[in-house]
Structure 1
């Protein structure tokens, strides 16, 4: 759990600069998964992919102009999320990447991640993405059990998942995949065996999520109707503990509450989010955080793809939210996101953002109960005991 990490070693601890990234949202999927509350849409009549890519480039240009009066930023990461970006034509991905490089300097070690579903993976398409500049892929495997994949509404089976991982490892220098656990009827031994197999396939990074029932999803309706139940908190904790033990033994310790990596292989793009960095968000439903001369702004784009595209054509951007954040809101975001990290937060940075320090009495109480721990003179992190009740810990500190 990064016991030796000092707050001054955290990204941006001294300057508040956690890096600068570009998030590109591709909202289209072949089917809507029943657990998913992301901004994803199915279009059976097909998608004008290059037309949407043109709109993404237009929105990138708008953001570049908006940032032109600020200190020049170097792009450290580009992340194609969704939806299912692996449904994009490689030439559309290449066009967007080239446009980013037209508007901003890019780091020599620029990380370019693309999310993929096993059902849309083939070797030729992956080679096309690699040729376009993608150097990291994140695959939505979700399970290595056919029955569980069917329950989750996935279009692929176990064989497809294994093939996708194999192709990804042969094509990209960096690869990650996702798994979902705490499924109905899943035993500790079931998950232990499935995770052990997954870890034998993993290279440098895995994302492991407990199933949550999100409002408005098909699963929420089925759950409310009593069609299935999820493990209770105590049993979910048992599954969580197994997850931490096996990943640590495999050399992929937790670095964020749901993410595990070999040291140095953490997702750089997501670290921008978790360390309160700046990022441009383009595409339907994409969010962004930008520091301009007047302060830090929260942006969000129109979620409906066709409406977003019309707004881009009319205005140069598809934003529906563009709000100046108050200092307290910036500090709260830093607290909420930063405490997801095993390395934690810099309390002096929090105080500088909020205009006030965290309550020392609350810190002492949580420390006494083993929920948080101090790191050096300035750091604060959530302990392994505190991670399963992270929301309660954050709420206590923020009160």
Structure 2
């Protein structure tokens, strides 16, 4: 899509719009995990169900009010996250995706991911998700060790985790496993995760041969139970050794380490997350959902400037539904802000430098809207410290840069 020339060099200028994705947030879960800082809420009043119909109606109202901002653009990926989206029935997910297809230009080849908790797996239900159009599952395993699962507050055990993977592979096939390392000791006794236990988890995951694996170090995020009452964790050196060992074992098994925490078999990388890391655009609907959209601006003299806009919806599910279904559905937006010239370098690098193979230099001007000279000083400093390497075509973090990613990113905070 060819766009107009910039009105002023002070603002961004885009020669083409970036790829577009859709994120849908389903906020409910069976139980809130003590390490979780996502916008998730236990099911209302301890019930066994969630207000599926009302929430889907709110999602569609939220989507419709945003249509003018991305009208005519193709959505290439959909990610249904949470919370625990697999709490929804197969019919509810079918209705949700049918509503998206009726209102947007969703690519027939779109990657459609659903997050799932092993405690919610039923063969018939997940076959229904496949029939609804889900093409990829992301299963929150975290560990196969019952003691560590208990310490993490998970509702499933190792046997249920294995059964969930088997059902996921049998029904949908394209499966990602989320796992953690550097796990805590239980408050009721036991020890923090050892290197041997970490390796056992990795080998258990590899035994299933899923096309994608994500391994995260457990971190104590603000405003979580673990942050207020930290559990005993492996020390820093052991955690770093665990990360290296995880990466080594996955590499030996044929997985490509293509992002800080993501590993995939050749050709099986997560397209939705790649769009995030490539500073693409994403429409977001649902309680607490965060979105990013690029606006090209109008023709010369129109006064319509090009811009990148970030949005966040209200977090409480009941408040979100009330506002999205009111006479003013746009009121479900809690915050709307334009990314400034001073912020865009950091925001771009926060995503793109997670890619182990780096990013094309041209992406910065194409997707941030400014010449790469805007961040040349920070790039120079990071290169001098051995945190990244670059050519005229590519910027890539070194192994040192991957280990000290936050230190590198601080250089772009201007």
TM-score by length of 1: 0.89
Can you list the C-alpha shifts for 1:292-322, whole angstroms capped at 9, x where unaligned? 2342110110000000011111122421112
1:100 Cα offset (Å): 1.6
2:346–2:409 Cα contact (<8 Å) kept: no
Structure 1 residues 284, 26: closer, same or farther in 2, change over 3 A? Answer: same
Residue number among 303, 313, 325 corresponding to 1:301 in the alignment: 313
1:56 is matched with which residue?
59
Q: Alignment partner of 1:201: what SS? A: coil
1:283 is matched with which residue?
286
Q: Alignment partner of 2:392: what SS? A: coil
1:384 Cα offset (Å): 2.0
CA distance in 1 between counterparts of 2:127 and 2:292 reads: 32
2:209 is matched with which residue?
202
2:255–2:264 Cα contact (<8 Å) kept: yes
Unaligned 5+ runs, structure 2: 1-13, 185-191, 298-304
1:24–1:281 Cα contact (<8 Å) kept: yes
1:264 is matched with which residue?
267
Can you list the C-alpha shifts for 1:181-213, whole angstroms capped at 9, x where unaligned? 111322222212221221121321011100000
TM-score by length of 2: 0.86
Residue number among 375, 379, 393 corresponding to 1:378 in the alignment: 393
Aligned length: 378
Q: Alignment partner of 2:408: what SS? A: helix
Structure 1 residues 74, 356: closer, same or farther in 2, change over 3 A? Answer: closer
2:383 is matched with which residue?
367
Aligned Cα root-mean-square deviation (Å): 2.0
CA distance in 1 between counterparts of 2:206 and 2:288 reads: 33
2:349 is matched with which residue?
335
1:19 is matched with which residue?
19
CA distance in 1 between counterparts of 2:143 and 2:97 reads: 31
Q: How does 1:81-230 map to 2 (within 5 A)?
A: 81-184=81-184, 185-223=192-230, 228-230=231-233
1:353 is matched with which residue?
369
Q: Alignment partner of 1:385: what SS? A: helix
CA distance in 1 between counterparts of 2:17 and 2:212 reads: 24
Q: How does 1:60-79 map to 2 (within 5 A)?
A: 60-68=63-71, 72-79=72-79
Q: Does 1:312 align with 2:319?
A: no
2:177–2:210 Cα contact (<8 Å) kept: no
